[in-house]
Amino acid sequence: MTSSTIKSHISIKDLNMHYGKNHALKNISINIPDKKLTAIIGPSGCGKTTLLKTFNRLIENVDGTNITGEVLVDGENIYGKNADVTNIRKKMGLLNQRPTPLPMSIYDNIAFGMSIHGIKQKGVLNEKVEHFLRVASLWDEVKDRLHSPAARLSIGQQQRLCLARGLAVEPEIILGDEPTSALDPISTKHIEQKFVELKEQYTIVMVTHILRQARRIADYVIFMYLGEIIEHGPTEMVLGNPQHQLTKDYVGGAIS
């Protein structure tokens, strides 16, 4: 397969981001492979999360950020003048470090996204809520208490609820910002399994600080250091046979 035949949902060109005087992202240019699981790794504060949040323009909600360059999603520059930001965000489901259930019932957490995008018929909503809860393997655990507050679920269940909620607006891409870092090992395994299943249909990009997690589930790895992409490529190449000295140090545990 030549590089031109690899389709990519997200394609970044010369992206620079300044946060005040801090040059947080430096000349980022990369294509994120379609229907693959890409892991962004690197030491704390290297810009992993910042890069992830430029994909759906959440980063601009932070005061004092200045972005130049292009992020193309399905060929459209999301930082262009006519970009419809809600539509761009709808294309990407987001999982945060800690689960963020909305302050409403389990049912409404899933139905919320669909209803703001115009699906109002009760029958359709019921059907879709069940479907997406099943996709996230949560249906059997919550089917008897769909109308109790989502905050009463365990942390692991909340994270699967957030996954179902993100999928319910029918995105093409799933973004994960260390989505398992607050979870216990079993819940972590649940989410990892889901990610592996879902990459058949979705492009998944996740930030992780756990190298073993990247080894376990990622197809493709991006290593960042101090706001720059140092090395990227298939997982076995970047983690198994790193070319750059910084990557070698990080993978070997010398920098963390």
The distance of closest approach from Cβ of residue 3 to another protein in the complex, given in angstroms and rounded to an integer, is 30
**77 binding another protein? (CB under 8 A):** no
E strands, 107-207, in order: 173-177, 203-207
**116 binding another protein? (CB under 8 A):** yes
**216 binding another protein? (CB under 8 A):** no
DSSP character for 50? H
Distance of CA 142 to the CA centre of its chain: 25
DSSP character for 33? P
Sole binder of another protein in the list 13, 18, 89, 128 (CB under 8 A): 89
Give the 3-state DSSP-derived string for 199-230, with helices as H, strands as E and coil as C. Answer: CCCCEEEEECCCHHHHHHHCCEEEEEECCEEE
Sole binder of another protein in the list 47, 113, 227, 242 (CB under 8 A): 113
For residue 245 the two structure tokens come to 């000295």
- Name beta bridge partners: 15: 28
Length of the chain: 256
The distance of closest approach from Cβ of residue 106 to another protein in the complex, given in angstroms and rounded to an integer, is 12
Amino acid at 98: R
Within residues 171-200, the interface with another protein by CB under 8 A covers 175, 180-185, 188
User: Applying CB under 8 A, which residues contact another protein?
Assistant: 53, 56, 58, 61, 63-64, 86-87, 89-90, 92-94, 96-98, 100, 102-104, 112-113, 116-117, 149, 151-152, 162, 165-166, 169, 175, 180-185, 188, 209-213, 253, 256
